[in-house]
Chains A and B, each alone.
Chain A
Amino acid sequence: MFFSTLIDGLSLGAIYALIALGYTMVYGIAKMLNFAHGDIIMVGALTVYYSLSVENTVLSIILAVLLPVVICTVLGIVVEKTAYKPLRGASPLAVLITAIGISYLLQGIAQLKFVFGVTPETVTNFKIPGSIFGINWSTIVTLVVAAILMIALTVFVKKSKIGRAMVAVSEDRAAAQLMGINVNAIISLTFAIGSALAAAASIFYLMQIPQVSSTLGSMPGIKAFTAAVIGGIGSIPGAMLGGILLGIIEKIALSIPALAPYTVAIEFSLLILILLVKPSGLLGKKRNEKV
């Protein structure tokens, strides 16, 4: 019983971790909270939903896996270029409100009747059938693919030239620019990677909770941000750790009947507590205020 809760928590946590990576990278590099990140997940989930309506089974599965990644990546870049780039150098409050606006815009577009509408729909047959040792294949695939993506991302950031340019931009944007790094391209790339990870997360999310709606992204979005904060925002291993911790905490709280209705309150109280006690998170670095 406890073991299965733990596995469920782990796979939910892997999804949160994938989303949290997008938050944490964008926060580290563009120094902004991308409120629309949750809605990118929603777009990914809608793409999966429509891909599955293709008649040919094999084609529909291929589309459902590939199309969300492509669409979300393009969407991430478009949003960054059109909405956030004009505000570079403006006050953080302005950027934050614009991000909320973008989140609302994506939801509004999805709510349009000819796009998706407001009534939630159920996704059928989007689950790998069967189980091994009592663990669903979907869960195993989620865990394995998430682990591969995270390892690949870590290697990319640590070893590749572009990855190191990303680190440089996050440490000091002006100095990085002086060193010949194309800061705008790096920021766009960050949004692209974050959105692609969100698309992957949306596929796994639908395997666990097979329902699509226009507001599907907001809750996992906020929870993933919580995870990013718990792990220390800006830190890639931190986002993974935070996501998995939060997923396990959520599943454990849900499995205890007395606590189950208060799960949301518990998770968000944890966020506030961490921000009060250790704002830099578990793995984040603390920097001093300077003028």
Chain B
Amino acid sequence: MNTLIVNGRHVKAREGAMLLEVIREAGVSLPTLCDHAALEPWGGCRLCLVDVTRNEWDGWAKMVVSCMFPAEDGLIVRTDSQRVVETRKVVLDLLLARCPDTPLVQKLARDHGIEQTSYQPNPEPTDCVLCGLCTRVCDHIGVSAIATVNRGAGREVAPPFHEAPPDCIGCLACAEICPTSCIPFTASDSKRTIWGKTFEMVRCTLCGRAFITKEQAAFYDGRNGVPASYFDTCDECKRKAQAKQFSRLSAGAGR
């Protein structure tokens, strides 16, 4: 097991852990926007910056994004050094200039002592912080219906050709994972619409509730051994059926 020093305290790190995990386990809070437990670290938001050094580095330290830096034995980590705090403030200042009206960005900035951006606010305010969670979760599921397009100041998340994405299965994972809830969608009992594409729903054969899209059922059919019949009933009805079975079994066992 690796031992590190985080803000002066000795902490243990599990093999293969990244610094961010170790720092948070040590009870030190670090802001992040692009980090998600279900996805690989990405290092996109640059908010989890820390200083790392070693005894043999003679006082030299380097700034790294903690989400992508392996928690190696003997590292000395500071999350509150002056240059780290200042750099993080610059990142938040820039984010606030990009997203001046976004409550989450406003709150993060305020938590770090920034009430107003020192840069020129974006003339076309957006809620998208370009954390990449939506495109990464879409890739992770294996759909890859959306991606970032263009570059620099014009970079945005969009479906190919800015048209309804043919590959989208309407799972809404992108909208659910978005930290600023900036991907619009509508969901009713009969239809879902996201990225300009409308989806028909599959209904539970027991309770009649619409619970997934037809495209989702088709996408998961046969994957990881999931049979098509799995989507005949919704999660709730499956749970109920299971509970019934359990109570029958336990009643049988009590006898």
Whether chains A and B associate is: no
